[in-house]
Amino acid sequence: MQKEGLNAHILADKFSLSDSNPTAIATSIAERMKRNRLELNLTQNALASRSGVSFGSVRRFENTGEISLKSLILIAIALDSTEEFSTLFSTRKYKTIEDVLTLHEPKTRKRGRIN
């Protein structure tokens, strides 16, 4: 793969959470999973067998982006792609020193607001 193609490939892997579009995010994840499956030369049926997820769930995930979290994790294990889960709800990254300083200010709230 040429360098430009590789860079485009890497950029295509990223999706913007600023859009807050759950369907687009799920579709992007499904497309990357499919690409990984094909790179390993696995059929949908072989991935289903390897992961313990039903064939229908694998097919539906690739077509619609819909899948249960447990099935997604099982597929990630089968494709040796679990490292991304460790950063899913990790601690926030700070952009300014003020963000860090406000972290250490005493908090008075003990609960969230009810809506």
* pLDDT tens digits, one per residue of 58-73: 999 999 999 999 999 9
Residue ranges and CATH numbers for the domains of the chain are: 25-81 (1.10.260.40)
**Token pair of 10, please?**
């890497």
Amino acid sitting at position 104: H
| pLDDT at residue 115 is higher than 80 | no
* Residues 6 or more apart whose Cβ sits within 8 Å of residue 26: 64, 65, 66, 67
Q: What's the predicted TM-score (pTM) here? A: 0.67
* pLDDT tens digits, one per residue of 32-90: 999 999 999 999 999 999 999 999 999 999 999 999 999 999 999 999 999 988 888 87
**Length of the chain in terms of residues written:** 115
- 35 in helix, strand or coil? helix
